[in-house]
Amino acid sequence: MGEEFVALSLPPILIGIFASIACAIPGNFLVLRRQALIGDAISHVVLPGIVLAFIVTGTVSTWPMMLGAGLAALVTVALIEIIRHLGKIEPGAAMGVVFTAMFAAGVLVLEQSDTSSVHLDVDHALFGNLESLIWLDATGWSSLTDMEALHGLPPELTRMAVTMAFVSLLTWVFWRPLKLSTFDEGFARTLGLPVVAIGLGLVIVAAIAAVAAFDAVGSIIVIAMFICPAAAARLMTNSLEAQIGWSIGFATISAIAGYVLAGYGPVWLGFDNAVSAAGMIATVSGVILGLASIFGPCRNRVGLRG
Amino acid sequence: MLFEALTLQLGYNATLVTIGSLLLGIAAGATGTFLFLGKRALVSDAISHATLPGVALAFMVMVALGGDGRYLPGLLVGSAVSSAVGLLCVSALSNRTRLSEDAAIGAVLSVFFGFGIVLLTVIQSMNAGRQAGLESFLLGSTAGMLWNDALVISLGGALVLCLMLLLRRPMTLVAFDPEFAAGAGMNVRRIELAVMGLALAITVVGLKIVGLILIVALLIIPAVAARFWSNRVGVVVILAGAVGGISGYSGAALSATAPALPTGPIIVLVAFLIFTLSLISAPNRGILTAFLRHRDFQARVHVRQGLLALAQGQPIYEKLTLRLMQKRGLIRADSVATEAGRAQAARALLDERRWQLLRSDPAHEGAAAHYDGLTPLESVLTKDQLAELDRSLGPEAV
C-alpha cells in the first residue's frame, strides 16, 4: 500500500495542493476586489495561447505552451481594458466579449491545424492530466530520501512548488500596499501608492499561477481555486490575515479530499474506474463553499440579520 | 460555394443547421440585451456551465430507464433543471451572503462544471462500448442534426421571443432602475429571475449548435454590438436580434463550406467581427466618430485662437494653427491674413468682447453658462439682446 501510494498518489496530491494554494492566495484579493471572473477569463484563453504556441513551434513542449498561454492572458487583459475604455462598456460585458471570441478563435485554429497526431485538445486544457503525473522511480516511503529516485519526480511537481513559493513570497513582500489598495483604493492613492500598477501586478500574478497550473491540473481547478476557497474563507472571518489562512486550509482540504474521492471513492462504492480528479477537487471546493455559506460565522453582510 | 451556402443549397443538413442558427441567433441576441442592460451579462456564463451536470445526469437516467441516452429533448430538460439550480445558487449566494455576484457566478460555474466533468468520466466508464459523445455539448456539434432537433430549437427560440415580447416593459424597467420598479409595486426579484430564465432557455436550446462554452458569446456579443448604435431599448433589442441572426445565419453557412470550420466558433467570430465594426464605426459611441469629433473640436479651438491673434495683430507660431487657417483660406502662405481672414478675425474679436461683457454682468448668468470659447454669441442671444449688448460695448468696438 505504501509503495503504491508514494508512486501513484503522492505526487498528484502534492501537485494538486500546490496548484490549489498558488491559485487561492491571489484569489482572495480578486474576490475582495470584485474581479473574481478575471480568473475565469484567463483560463478560457489558455486554449488559444497553447494552440498558438503549438503552431509556432510545431511541438508539444511545456515552456513554449506556457509562454503562449501567458501571452494570451496578457493580450486578453489588455483587450478587456481597451474595449472597456474605448467602448464605455461595463467590465463584465467587455470580459464576456473578449474571452468568448478568443476561445472561439482557439477552437477554430485547433480544428484547422493538423493537431490530430499529438495530444492537444480542448479536453486536455480543461481537465488537465492530474492522474497521469506519477512517480515511477518510487519504491516506497524510503524513496523520499533517495536522491536517485527524487530525480524521477514529475517536473510539474517542482514547477508548481516554485509557483506556489513565488506567489506566497510576492504576497508577503507586497502585503501592505496590496491590502491597502484592495480595501480603500482612494486612500492608497493619496498615500502615493501606484494603485493601477498594483492592480495590474495582481492580475499578472494570477495569470502566472493560472498558466502554471493549467498544464498540470486543467482550467477547471484553476477557476474553482481562484474563487471557492477565498469566497468560503470570506464567510469565516473578518480579518484578511485569517481569511488567507482559511483559504489555504480550504484549498488543501479540497485538493486532498478531491483526489482521494476521485481515485478511491468509486472503488469503495464497488466500481472499478476512477473519475476525474480535477472535477472532483472543484466539486469538493464547492461543497466547502456551500457549507460555509450556511454555517459560516461571518456569512451575512454587516447590518443584516438572518 | 459560399453563395450556395447562403442561399441554402448545400443539402438538407446544412439547411437545417443554417435556419436553426438564424433563429437561435435572433432569440439569443434579443434576450441577451436585457441581461447586458441590467449589467449582469456574465450570469449567462454561470447558466451555461451549469448545464453540464444536468446533461450527464439526464443521460444516466435515460440509460438506466432503458432508453436511448442521446435523446435530445431529454438531455435538454436535464440541462435546464441543473442550470436552474445553478441560477438559484448564484441568486442565493449573492443575496443571502456577503459575497458579491461575480464571486457567486465564478463559484457556481466552476463547481457545476467540475461536477459535470466528474459525471462525464462516470459515463465513460459506465458503458465504454457506447461512447455517449456528450463532449459534443461542450463545443456543439451540428454534423448529426436531425429534423426533430431543428424543430426543438425553432420552437424554443420562438417561445422565448414571445415571452420576451410579453415581459419587455417590466424587464426594461428593472434593468435600468430596480428601485423605481420596486416602488412601482413590481416584484423585482421575480422579474430578474424571469430575465435569467429566458437566458437559461436560450442556453439550453443553443447547446446543440454552439455548445455550452460559446453560447455565452451569443448572449453577450450581439447586445454589446447593438448598444453602440442606439440609445433606445426597443431599437437595441431589435438590432441585437438582427446581429445575432446575421451571425448565426452567415456563420452556419460559412462553416458548411468546409469540413474543418466548426459551426459554433465561426458564428461567434462573425458576431465578434460585427462587434468590432460597431466599436469602430458606430455614430456617437464609435471610436472613429469619437476621434473625428475630437479632431473637429481641436481644429475649431485652433482656428478660433488663430483668428483672435490675427484680429489683435499678434503673430502666430503654432504650426497646426497655421496649417488649419491656410487650408481654410484665412491666411496666405506667408502668414498674412486674406480678405476673408480679416473679416472673420474681426467677427471673432467682436464675439469675444461681447462674451466678456456678458460674463461680467450677473444679470446674464444663465446665458454666460453657455460660454466655452467656441459658441458664437449669436446662437445664444436674440438680435434685440445683442443690439442692447453692443450699445454698452461702445462705438469703438463695433
Condensed to tens digits (0 to 9), the pLDDT of residues A34-51 reads 888 888 888 888 888 888
**pLDDT, average across residues A110-135:** 67
Instruction: Report yes or no: B34 at the A interface, CB cutoff 8 Å.
Output: no
**pLDDT, average across residues A230-234:** 94
Question: Which of A87, A103, A235 lies closest to B214 in CB terms?
Answer: A103
Residues of A within 8 A of B49 (CB-CB) are none
Q: Under DSSP, is residue A275 helix (H, G, I), strand (E, B) or coil?
A: coil
Chain B: residue whose CA lies nearest to A40 = B106
Interval B255-275: pLDDT, tens? 888 877 888 899 999 999 999
Question: Which of A103, A223, A300 lies closest to B98 in CB terms?
Answer: A300
pLDDT at B129: 43
Question: Which of A97, A283, A302 lies closest to B118 in CB terms?
Answer: A283
pLDDT at B143: 66
The alpha carbon of residue A150 is apart from the nearest alpha carbon of chain B, in Å, by: 31
Instruction: Report yes or no: A95 at the B interface, CB cutoff 8 Å.
Output: yes
Instruction: Report yes or no: B273 at the A interface, CB cutoff 8 Å.
Output: no
Q: Is the pLDDT of residue B223 over 70?
A: yes
Angle between helix B12-37 and B233-256 (nearest 10): 150
Angle between helix A10-32 and A277-295 (nearest 10): 50
Give me the residue label for grid cell 442534426: B145
Task: Output the nine-digit C-alpha cell for B115.
Answer: 461536477
Report CB contact under 8 Å: A108, B265. Answer: yes
Instruction: Give the number of other Cβ atoms within 10 Å of residue B83's Cβ.
Output: 32
CB-based contact B130:B104 (threshold 8 Å): no
Instruction: Report yes or no: A93 at the B interface, CB cutoff 8 Å.
Output: yes
pLDDT at A306: 42
The alpha carbon of residue A208 is apart from the nearest alpha carbon of chain B, in Å, by: 19
Residue A97 identity: V
**Which of B102, B137, B236 is the mutation pick for testing A, counting most A CBs within 10 A?**
B102
CA atoms within 13 A on the CB side of A179: 11
pLDDT at B356: 86
Confidence of residue B144 (pLDDT cuts 50, 70, 90): low
The alpha carbon of residue B257 is apart from the nearest alpha carbon of chain A, in Å, by: 13
Helical H runs in A174-276? Answer: 175-183, 185-190, 195-217, 219-234, 240-268
Q: Is the pLDDT of residue A303 over 70?
A: no
The alpha carbon of residue A139 is apart from the nearest alpha carbon of chain B, in Å, by: 29
Residues of B within 8 A of A295 (CB-CB) are none
Residues of A within 8 A of B105 (CB-CB) are 36-37
Higher confidence at residue B131 or residue B233? B233
**pLDDT, average across residues A170-183:** 93
Residues of A within 8 A of B209 (CB-CB) are none
Chain A, 210-229: which have a CB under 8 Å from a chain B CB? 220-221, 223-224, 226-228
**Which of B99, B127, B267 is the mutation pick for testing A, counting most A CBs within 10 A?**
B99
Chain A, 164-203: which have a CB under 8 Å from a chain B CB? none
The alpha carbon of residue A1 is apart from the nearest alpha carbon of chain B, in Å, by: 24
Task: Output the nine-digit C-alpha cell for A164.
Answer: 506556489
Q: Is the pLDDT of residue A264 over 80?
A: yes
Report CB contact under 8 Å: A272, B125. Answer: yes
Percent of chain A predicted with pLDDT > 90: 39
Which of A105-114, A169-178, B107-116, B176-185 is predicted with the least confidence, judged by mean pLDDT? A105-114
Report CB contact under 8 Å: B98, A112. Answer: no
Chain B: residue whose CA lies nearest to A107 = B265
Question: Which of B98, B124, B227 lies closest to A234 in CB terms?
Answer: B98
Chain A: residue whose CA lies nearest to B98 = A301
Task: Output the nine-digit C-alpha cell for B104.
Answer: 457567486
Residues of A within 8 A of B99 (CB-CB) are 31, 231, 234-235, 293
Report CB contact under 8 Å: A93, B125. Answer: no
Q: ipTM of the assembly? A: 0.90
First CA to last CA distance, chain B: 73
Instruction: Report yes or no: B56 at the A interface, CB cutoff 8 Å.
Output: no
pLDDT at A305: 47
Q: Is the pLDDT of residue B397 over 70?
A: no
Chain B, 223-252: which have a CB under 8 Å from a chain A CB? 223-224, 227-228
Which of A68-72, B115-119, B264-268, B391-395 is predicted with the least confidence, judged by mean pLDDT? B391-395
Q: How many CB pairs under 8 A join A and B?
A: 214
Report CB contact under 8 Å: B100, A83. Answer: no
pLDDT at B81: 95
pLDDT at A218: 81
Higher confidence at residue B160 or residue A128? B160
Residue B318 identity: E
Considering only CA atoms, which of B215, B213, B214, B201 is closest in space to residue B80?
B201
Higher confidence at residue A213 or residue B395? A213
pLDDT at B300: 92
Q: Is the pLDDT of residue B249 over 70?
A: yes
Report CB contact under 8 Å: A275, B122. Answer: yes
Considering only CA atoms, which of A291, A289, A265, A224 is closest in space to residue A20?
A224
What is A144-196 written as a DSSP string?
Answer: GG-HHHHTTS-HHHHHHHHHHHHHHHHHHHTHHHHHHHHH-HHHHHHTT--HH
Considering only CA atoms, which of A239, A260, A202 is closest in space to residue A17?
A260
pLDDT at A167: 94
What is B327-363 written as a DSSP string?
Answer: HTTSB-TTS-B-HHHHHHHHHHHHHHHHHHHHHH-GG
Interval B46-100: pLDDT, tens? 999 999 999 999 988 888 887 777 777 888 899 999 999 999 999 899 888 899 9
Instruction: Report yes or no: B212 at the A interface, CB cutoff 8 Å.
Output: no
Question: Which of A36, A112, A262 lies closest to B106 in CB terms?
Answer: A36
Instruction: Report yes or no: A238 at the B interface, CB cutoff 8 Å.
Output: no
Percent of chain A predicted with pLDDT > 70: 92
**pLDDT, average across residues A281-285:** 94
Instruction: Report yes or no: A234 at the B interface, CB cutoff 8 Å.
Output: yes
Residues of B within 8 A of A24 (CB-CB) are none
Q: What is the mean pLDDT of chain A?
A: 85
Residue A90 CB contacts under 8 Å (≥ 6 apart), including other chains: A84, B39, B41
Residues of A within 8 A of B139 (CB-CB) are 107, 122
Q: What letter does residue B41 receive in the DSSP assignment?
A: T
Interval B327-386: pLDDT, tens? 888 888 888 888 888 899 988 988 888 888 888 888 888 888 888 878 888 888 888 888
**pLDDT, average across residues A80-96:** 90
